[in-house]
Amino acid sequence: MNPLDLSLYLVTDQSLSKGRTHEYIVAEAVKGGVTVVQLREKNISSREFYELAKALMLIVKPLGIPLIINDRLDIALAVDADGLHIGQSDLPYEVARKLLGKNKIIGLSIETIEQAWEANKLDVDYIGLSPVFSTNTKLDINTPLELSGVKKIAGFTKHKTVAIGGINNENAESIISSGADGIAVVSAIVSHDNPQQAASELKAIIDKVK
Amino acid sequence: MNPLDLSLYLVTDQSLSKGRTHEYIVAEAVKGGVTVVQLREKNISSREFYELAKALMLIVKPLGIPLIINDRLDIALAVDADGLHIGQSDLPYEVARKLLGKNKIIGLSIETIEQAWEANKLDVDYIGLSPVFSTNTKLDINTPLELSGVKKIAGFTKHKTVAIGGINNENAESIISSGADGIAVVSAIVSHDNPQQAASELKAIIDKVK
């Protein structure tokens, strides 16, 4: 597998996709330059989650773009996804690593500076800094880390970092300048009328700063 | 592992447990004679599900009573539970078997006579006939199979069977007489003021018929 490129990390959200399928959004977004796709679903059956993950694997696998499954390690195993993203209320990291093995990507959400310090004890593949700005996408929102938090964490973490929460064309540059390896977006791509163009514009901004 | 004894199969439900913990209900119910415990949870985090499953394993494992996890194969793997119960909208059976291996119990919910015929093609360890009577426990209720459905399925299935749905002291005997290998209950035990006594009474009824 290629080294993990977190530059432009797409997180899916069916409820924000304006009636368009995940397959459509993801296919368009990867054309625009998305480097990682995370499938995040909360209120669908395991069968639907599985079928969706299988369908997305068919799209991203041939392109060498990793598909990361949010929370559900069983779905990640079932479709042989490239990795798993876990939050602080998901399976413990050690359990996930044991079940997934060394060759899969595991990302961990970090909501505070303290959690970022703690994560330095773990061999996760990246940490997600969440949220960097306030956003309406997730319901369980902590205090935003802001750019100052990103800078602080980037200064001491041994992990690759991707920031998420309220990121768009206007502030993407500031995130990368603050030391994050990439930006993760939901609505900036999935709610955009043209997901490919949205991805392409964000990618251009990131590439310019990097 | 001992041969699977489906006689009295307890399915947990936090919302029906009158504020008592799963650990309490399960510990009392196994004293009363429960032969299988299924942990079914829908609206808790993966971390809570995992911690709960770990706690129940500590109770049932020393007694040789299998713990079956509903739907969530990752939780089953994470705590090395004895098995997994899947419904028609959960992971496909073949996927579950591949990930769990041959030594784990896999049960499959059957909602129609046709699904019971289909299940004869699979090497599941048991089928759950659901619902046998109407009940308020689950939201996604199909037409009850009734005793006639249990008799019909028991006549042709190659699998062990456990019936679920609206079973209590009054009708438990009729289920076993109709050919089911066991009864699965939720509220008859978890909502009872004395879960041990409830289990003990049901067990006595089953043992008398068998």
Say how far apart CA B23 and CA B57 lie, in whole Å: 10
Nearest to B99 among A72, A77, A95 (CB): A77
pLDDT tens, B107-165?
Answer: 999 999 999 999 999 999 999 999 999 876 554 567 999 999 999 999 999 999 999 99
Q: CATH number of the domain at A125, please.
A: 3.20.20.70
Distance (Å) from the alpha carbon of B45 to chain A's nearest alpha carbon: 6
Q: Does the beta-carbon distance from A77 to B73 stay under 8 Å?
A: yes
Beta carbons of B164 and B202 less than 8 angstroms apart = no
Nearest to B89 among A45, A71, A74 (CB): A45
B2, part of any domain = no
Q: Kindly report the CA angle at A166 between A20 and A148, in degrees rounded to 5?
A: 155
pLDDT at A112: 96
A102, part of any domain = yes
pLDDT tens, A87-128?
Answer: 999 999 999 999 999 999 999 999 999 999 999 999 999 999
pLDDT at B2: 72
Q: Does the beta-carbon distance from A91 to B48 stay under 8 Å?
A: no
Beta carbons of A140 and A111 less than 8 angstroms apart = no
Q: Does the beta-carbon distance from A77 to B72 stay under 8 Å?
A: no
Domain residues for the domain of A16 are 8-209
Say how far apart CA A166 and CA B1 lie, in whole Å: 52
A2, part of any domain = no
pLDDT at A198: 98
Task: Give one DSSP letter per residue of chain B, joined into a string.
Answer: -PPP--SEEEE--GGGSTT--HHHHHHHHHHHT--EEEE--SSS-HHHHHHHHHHHHHHHGGGTPPEEEES-HHHHHHHT-SEEEE-TTSS-HHHHHHHH-TTSEEEEEE-SHHHHHHHTTS--SEEEE--SS--SS-SS-----HHHHHHHHHHH-SSEEEEESS--TTTHHHHHHTT-SEEEESHHHHTSS-HHHHHHHHHHHHHHH-
Distance (Å) from the alpha carbon of A91 to chain B's nearest alpha carbon: 5
Q: Which B-chain residues 86-115 have CB contacts (< 8 A) with chain A?
A: 88-92, 95, 99
Say how far apart CA A125 and CA B117 lie, in whole Å: 46
- Interface confidence, given as ipTM, is 0.94
Work out how many domains chain B is built from and give that number: 1
Longest dimension (CA), chain A: 42
pLDDT tens, A146-192?
Answer: 999 999 999 999 999 999 999 999 999 999 999 999 999 999 999 99
The answer, for B133 touching chain A at a CB cutoff of 8 Å, is: no
Query: Is the pLDDT reported for residue A35 higher than 70?
Result: yes
A1, part of any domain = no
> Per-residue confidence at A25, pLDDT binned at 50, 70, 90?
very high
Nearest to B89 among A47, A73, A77 (CB): A47
A134, part of any domain = yes
Distance (Å) from the alpha carbon of B90 to chain A's nearest alpha carbon: 5
B3, part of any domain = no
Say how far apart CA A195 and CA B164 lie, in whole Å: 47
A3, part of any domain = no
Name the closest residue on chain A to residue B77, using Cα atoms.
Answer: A99
Q: What's the whole-number average pLDDT of chain B?
A: 95
Mutate to test the interface with B, among A40, A44, A74, A89 (most CBs of B within 10 A): A74
